[in-house]
Amino acid sequence: MKSKILITALVLSLSFTGYAQSVQKQVKQLDTYIQNAIEVWDPPGLAVAVVKDGKVVFTKGYGTRTIGKNLPVDEHTLFVCASTTKAFTAAGLAMLVDDGKIVWSDHVIDYLPEFQLSDPYVTRELTIRDLLTHRSGLGNTDFLWSWMSISGDSALYKLRDVDPSYSLRSSFIYQNLMYLAAGKVIEKVSGQSWESFLKKRIYEPLQMNETYAKYKMVLEQDNKADAHIWVDEDIVKVSQMNADEIGPAGSMWSSATDMAKWLQFLLNNGIVNGDTLIGESNFNELFKPQQIIPPNQFYPSAELTKPNWTTYGLGWFQHDYRGKMVQFHTGSLPGMVAIAGLIPEENIGVYVFGNLDHVELRHAIMYTVFDLFIDGKITNDWSADLKELYDKRQDDDEEPKRVADTQPTIPLERAIGRYKHQIYGNIEITKEGDDYRFNLNNTIIGSLTHWHYDTYEIIFDKLWQGKSMMSFRMDSDAELSYLEVLGKQFYYKRDKDNQDE
């Protein structure tokens, strides 16, 4: 009997040793692959975490926190989580459902009576589940926080002026402000701020000591990454965009070390150290397909992965890959990226941070991790394939054609003044020395140069905002009527009306 026990123990020991050696080999392959891929994509810095079978098998930083400086990224370097924050907000609501304080099908106005959309029916019928699934009927409303220097509460208030783009629950358009509203529900029901709730119910139980709900909380931290973008042929550091006013949609900051703990928790069905933080039913609800995503609303990477279906859960994009269900979410703010990816069926999780604008190496690392830990080897060069795909898409985005030797019918001197849009705010055209300046809500500011006819190019002061075209239009009396920019029409305010309102 003792010999059988010893033999069994020996077999288990050898099996575990073989497994550990296999994982070590895979990790080494991954590390080499990432280092080679960095040479292709050229991000200043990256941080990666991988969890397999409940164990953190890989956390590592690459490169620098700030280009041109010897500030190494490590597994504790803080990056913005951006929209991967949404999964935390959804998890918080699942905990409140467990607590019996809310139900997924509850109407939002039952908790936020001041919440109002332009359609009274949608206002009345919108549920907590709808807040998390991007099916409210609204088009993109990010202008309400990114184009304006207003509070999150004010942005939510202005939703009542936004016309619907489709009927409730009939389609999918990504919505940050609905997640802000979801955070407000957490605050109303729990009696705590959204950030305090996450700290008490998620960060502390998971011992996520390097995770912060808002950017203002990391300002004094030294070990944090800076944002970078490509400008022509150079990578330059840019100021960090602050998403704190839409916190529940995308303001968190964290490290690879802490995101590994988050992945472990998710792959362990909402249980940490034997404590169930989210009950089985509501944990599963987070990852159930809730809304079909049309192909034109999904990621370009689908051109390569060729999924049979694309859906959204509660804070998670979903698609099939190699016969398995992938749960993932990206996060992007100007100059910073993140991605969280899970295949629960294979007990695999990966998280990637980067500090270069839309460096889609994040997708390549995610799919490479999936391949590596399913097959035991790297079966496809996702870095090369995705680089080719995104380079081609960038090449297809042609510069606008320019007609040479034209003159404006409306000289900029005549166009100085204020222009107003009911929803999008105010634009002021001013002259400063020899320069003409564009100012949208004291948020998007730049210089104007003549392009052709009555069209002008705006070069924005914040490099990550890039460039745009602006055109002036006259009425039937040849008087200045409005300017068109960013797809919107802002109407000229005559001298008698050109007062602050």
How far from 335 is each of 40, 216, 224, 331, 362, CA to CA, in Å? 18, 18, 13, 11, 13
Map out the domains of the chain as residue ranges: 2-396, 412-492
- Tell me the two tokens of residue 291: 């809304």
User: Who has greater pLDDT, 194 or 409?
Assistant: 194
Whether 187 shows a pLDDT value over 70: the answer reads yes
Instruction: Tell me the per-residue pLDDT of 453-463, one tens digit each, with 9 for 90 and over.
Output: 999 999 999 88
pLDDT of residue 492: 94
Identical topology for domains 2-396 and 412-492: no
pLDDT of residue 411: 86
Cα separation, 338 vs 225, in Å, equals: 12
Q: Using CB atoms within 10 Å of the CB of residue 435, give its burial: 0 to 12 exposed, 13 to 18 middle, 19+ buried.
A: exposed
Instruction: Tell me the per-residue pLDDT of 220-265, one tens digit each, with 9 for 90 and over.
Output: 999 999 999 999 889 999 999 999 999 999 999 999 999 999 999 9
44: nearest Cα among 256, 232, 284, 227: 227
Per DSSP, 108 falls in state G
Give the mean pLDDT of the chain.
93
* Contact indicator for 164, 129 with CB cutoff of 8 Å: no
Whether 15 shows a pLDDT value over 90: the answer reads no
Terminus-to-terminus CA distance in the chain, angstroms?
A: 90
83: nearest Cα among 179, 147, 192: 179
How far from 34 is each of 57, 371, 372, CA to CA, in Å? 15, 14, 13
Instruction: Tell me the per-residue pLDDT of 104-131, one tens digit each, with 9 for 90 and over.
Output: 999 999 999 999 999 999 999 999 999 9
Whether 498 shows a pLDDT value over 60: the answer reads no
In this prediction, residue 149 has a pLDDT band, given cuts at 50, 70 and 90, of confident
Share of the chain above pLDDT 70, in %: 94
In this prediction, residue 395 has a pLDDT band, given cuts at 50, 70 and 90, of confident
What are residue 420's phi and psi, to 5 degrees?
Answer: -130, 140
Q: Using CB atoms within 10 Å of the CB of residue 386, give its burial: 0 to 12 exposed, 13 to 18 middle, 19+ buried.
A: buried
Cα separation, 380 vs 238, in Å, equals: 34
Instruction: Tell me the per-residue pLDDT of 412-445, one tens digit each, with 9 for 90 and over.
Output: 999 999 999 988 899 999 999 999 999 999 999 9
Cα separation, 103 vs 122, in Å, equals: 18
pLDDT of residue 14: 47
- CATH class of the domain at 2-396: alpha beta
Question: Which residues are CB-neighbours of 455 under 8 A, at least 6 positions away?
Answer: 469, 470, 471
In this prediction, residue 3 has a pLDDT band, given cuts at 50, 70 and 90, of low
Q: If one looks up domain 412-492 in CATH, what number appears?
A: 2.40.128.50
pLDDT of residue 497: 52
What are residue 316's phi and psi, to 5 degrees?
Answer: -140, 130
Share of the chain above pLDDT 90, in %: 85
pLDDT of residue 466: 86
| DSSP string of 185-226, one letter each residue | HHHHHHSS-HHHHHIIIIITTTT-TT-BSSGGGTTT-SSBPP
User: Who has greater pLDDT, 47 or 414?
Assistant: 47
How far from 87 is each of 26, 120, 182, 477, CA to CA, in Å? 28, 29, 12, 54
What pTM does this model have? Answer: 0.92
Whether 11 shows a pLDDT value over 90: the answer reads no
Whether 12 shows a pLDDT value over 70: the answer reads no
Whether 80 shows a pLDDT value over 90: the answer reads yes
pLDDT of residue 500: 47
In this prediction, residue 496 has a pLDDT band, given cuts at 50, 70 and 90, of very low
Between strands 417-421 and 348-354, the pairing is unpaired
364: nearest Cα among 295, 305, 323, 298: 305
Residue type, 463: L
